[in-house]
């Protein structure tokens, strides 16, 4: 962060508050029930995503480009849930509304980087399905494990750099209007309007990130499935079309769960009550992490079979251990 300040000159000083006050859920009636629900969602998300990662890691048959992307999505879900929910519960459930300046920027970095990676990971899965259905004979050449790892690594690098720039630009703002953030976390869009000096660069980087991380992935996914739908319409039999489409249902469900609530929240933002908007955005930030592993475990035959095999092997090993102990 010091790089941004040194680049502007040593004589320039910025007004940095000692802390921010997070007030997103304050004043909402019966909010403690919602905290219990958030905790339940977090536990299910941690268990589900950990299960998916363990199954993919242990089963060598799942070492394919598609499941490399699924593994990374489970990791990003686990990362974002852990970055967001425990801190939110600490702030509001235990009344730790005062968050130090540097801690707030750190909180912002981890939340935005992990949530952004979820959207970009859906692009990787969409590309995988696009090539697998339209160019099935060239799939193993065009989409390899090395290619998928390189694509995911480039997404991580881009996300980290983009969020670091956004957080770095906040450090050159003089926060003097207020220190109250009316959100459930250190929201970038809530911080820069509190500045008294020029915050146009922060506004611009925020809009660019929304475009690159939200709209462009959504457009690519819609375009890819338009191409997939057109390709499937040329398939001879309905049974073949259904079989090919079933390989996409899991990814389509994930994309719908991630993008639709976000679009609804920001499309009707002026018509929503602030409390309803905060609740809806919280759900958008945490609910997909819980549903993603459930969808893949229930809808993906390979993961279900692998999970069953691992459970059978574990049960057999326990039975053998018991027999040895009895003898």
Structural domain spans, the chain: 2-326
Strand order in the sheet with 180-181: 98-100, 19-22, 180-181
Residue 98: which residues within 8 A CB-CB, separation 6 or more?
19, 20, 21
Segment 14-31 shows an average pLDDT of: 84
Beta-carbon contacts of 3 under 8 Å, excluding residues fewer than 6 positions away, are: 168
Could you count the other beta carbons within 10 Å of the beta carbon of residue 282? Answer: 22
Cβ–Cβ under 8 Å, residues 286 and 157:
no
Interior CA angle at 80 toward 74 and 82, to 5°?
100
CB 130 within 8 A of CB 224: yes
What's the topology of domain 2-326? Rhopdopsin 7-helix transmembrane proteins (1.20.1070)
User: What is the reported pLDDT for 324?
Assistant: 47
**CA nearest 279: which of 265, 258, 259, 292?**
265
Q: Which residue has the higher pLDDT, 14 or 287?
A: 287
Is the Cα dihedral 176, 181, 182, 188 positive or negative? positive
- Shortest CA distance to 162 belongs to which of 227, 214, 97? 214
287 pLDDT above the threshold of 90: no
How does DSSP classify residue 24?
T
Do the beta carbons of residue 280 and residue 261 sit within 8 Å?
A: yes
Is pLDDT above 80 for 211?
yes
d(CA 14, CA 21): 19
Report pLDDT digits (tens) over 115-154. Answer: 999 999 999 999 998 998 888 888 888 999 999 999 999 9
Rounded average pLDDT over 226-238: 78
Assign 43 a pLDDT band (cuts: 50, 70, 90).
very high
Handedness of CA 204, 205, 208, 213 (dihedral sign): negative
Judge whether residue 269 has pLDDT over 60. Answer: no
Give the confidence band of 320 by pLDDT, cuts at 50, 70, 90: low
Residue 305 confidence (pLDDT) above 80: no
**Distance between CA atoms of 186 and 43, rounded to whole angstroms?**
23
Residue 105 CB-density burial (10 A; 0-12 exposed, 13-18 middle, 19+ buried): buried
Give the pTM.
0.85
Higher pLDDT, 27 or 130: 130
Neighbouring residues of 12: CB distance < 8 A, sequence distance ≥ 6: 5
Better pLDDT: 160 or 309: 160
Confidence bin at 208 (pLDDT 50/70/90)? very high
The answer, yes or no, to whether residue 313 has pLDDT greater than 70, is no
Q: What is the dihedral of CA 177, 179, 181, 184, to 10 degrees?
A: 170
Q: Indicate whether 266 pLDDT > 70.
A: no
pLDDT category at 3 given cuts 50, 70, 90 is very low
Interhelix angle 31-58/65-93, nearest 10 degrees: 150
């Amino acid at each position: 962060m010091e790089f941004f300040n040194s680049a502007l000159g040593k004589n320039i000083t910025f007004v940095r508050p000692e802390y921010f006050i997070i007030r997103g859920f304050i004043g909402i009636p019966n909010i403690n029930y919602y905290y219990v629900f958030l905790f339940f969602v977090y536990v299910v998300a941690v268990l589900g995503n950990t299960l998916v990662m363990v199954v993919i890691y242990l089963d060598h048959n799942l070492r394919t480009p598609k499941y490399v992307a699924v593994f990374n999505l489970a990791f990003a879900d686990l990362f974002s849930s852990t970055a967001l929910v425990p801190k939110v519960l600490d702030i509001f459930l235990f009344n730790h509304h005062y968050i130090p300046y540097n801690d707030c920027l750190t909180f912002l970095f981890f939340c935005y980087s992990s949530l952004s990676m979820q959207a970009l990971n859906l692009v990787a899965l969409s590309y995988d399905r696009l090539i697998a259905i339209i160019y099935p004979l060239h799939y193993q050449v065009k989409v390899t494990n090395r290619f998928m790892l390189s694509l995911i690594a480039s997404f991580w690098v881009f996300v980290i750099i983009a969020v670091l720039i956004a957080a770095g630009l906040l450090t050159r703002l003089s926060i003097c209007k207020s220190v109250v953030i009316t959100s459930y976390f250190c929201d970038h869009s809530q911080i820069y309007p509190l500045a008294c000096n020029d915050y146009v660069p922060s506004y611009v980087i925020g809009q660019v990130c929304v475009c690159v991380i939200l709209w462009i992935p959504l457009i690519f996914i819609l375009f890819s499935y338009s191409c997939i739908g057109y390709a499937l319409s040329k398939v001879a039999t309905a049974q073949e079309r259904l079989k090919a489409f079933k390989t996409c249902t899991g990814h389509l469900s994930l994309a719908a769960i991630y993008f639709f609530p976000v679009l609804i929240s920001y499309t009707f933002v002026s018509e929503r009550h602030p409390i309803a908007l905060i609740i809806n955005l919280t759900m958008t930030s945490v609910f997909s992490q819980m549903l993603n592993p459930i969808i893949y475990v229930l809808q993906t035959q390979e993961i279900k079979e692998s999970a069953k095999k691992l459970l059978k092997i574990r049960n057999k090993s326990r039975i053998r251990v018991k027999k040895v102990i009895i003898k």
